[in-house]
Amino acid sequence: MISTLIVDDEPLARARIKRLLAAHPQYEVIADAEDGELAVKLCQQLQPDLVLLDINMPKCSGMDVVAVLKQLTIPPAVVFLTAHPEHALEAFELAVDGYLVKPVTADALSKTLSQLRRLNRAQVSKSDDLYISYQLAGVIKRVHIEDIICCTAEQKYTRLIFDGGEALVEQSLKQLEHQYPAQLMRIHRNTLVNKNRIYSMTHDDGVHSLMLDGVSTKFVISRREVKSVKAIMGK
């Protein structure tokens, strides 16, 4: 899921964007804000993958918000919303990831989202430097996030299954899901998988299952997560 924050000082505009995003199940609206100051606080607290941001707001404008967000260790992707197209050049000079003119249409939103190419915080921060640490025989080791195949809940621990081995870590699935949203996605309450390892999905006797590169095991997909998996696979 791509966690999304909507920022606009007009309640009707926020409601419209929420309604349009409902057609894109891979995008989850985790919060909305009516001004720039609140937007910055929510970004620091919730670390959204994507911010749909109005430019013209009192006190703290969208431009001001972006200037702050770009300083974050892992900044979100930003798409500007505005009723004034003349701001387009200034917006792109700030290196935002998209631009939508209000009132936003379903087609325009769909086109912009398709151009974002799985935008998320971890991609912006360069996933080459992302590792998960674990302890084995008293020695601390680490595994690159891209080498992880899946993560499964195991009592008080989480089992990492990766190329060449397995390990137990203390982080919960929820913590890993929020820390690495670009790579890991939930397919079941007890399972996270690496999005880039998804090979195929089957549907037998009413049960959806997933095959991953690197292992021969089939992983059951809960009914709740089937839409998200299909969206990642482009179905």
Give me the residue spans of the domains in the chain. Answer: 2-124, 130-233
Interval 136-178: pLDDT, tens: 777 778 888 888 999 999 888 999 999 889 999 988 998 888 8
Indicate the CATH number of 2-124 among 3.40.50.2300, 2.60.40.420, 3.40.1180.10, 3.40.50.10680: 3.40.50.2300
Q: Quick one: which of 170, 168, 193 has its CA closest to 181?
A: 193
pTM beyond 0.85: the answer is no
Give, rounded to a whole angstrom, the gap between the first and last alpha carbons of the chain. 15
Pick out the chain residues at pLDDT < 70: 73, 85-95, 117-129, 234-235
| Integer Rg of the chain from CA | 19
Return the structure tokens found at 212.
Answer: 């991953």
- What's the confidence (pLDDT) of residue 146? 85
- What's the confidence (pLDDT) of residue 6? 97
202 exposure class (CB count in 10 Å sphere: 0-12, 13-18, 19+): exposed
Maximum C-alpha span of the chain: 61
Look-up: residue for tokens 């086109």? 111
- What's the confidence (pLDDT) of residue 94? 57
Interval 190-215: pLDDT, tens: 999 998 888 888 988 889 999 998 88
55 exposure class (CB count in 10 Å sphere: 0-12, 13-18, 19+): buried
Q: Which CATH architecture has domain 130-233?
A: Beta Barrel (2.40)
- What's the confidence (pLDDT) of residue 156? 87
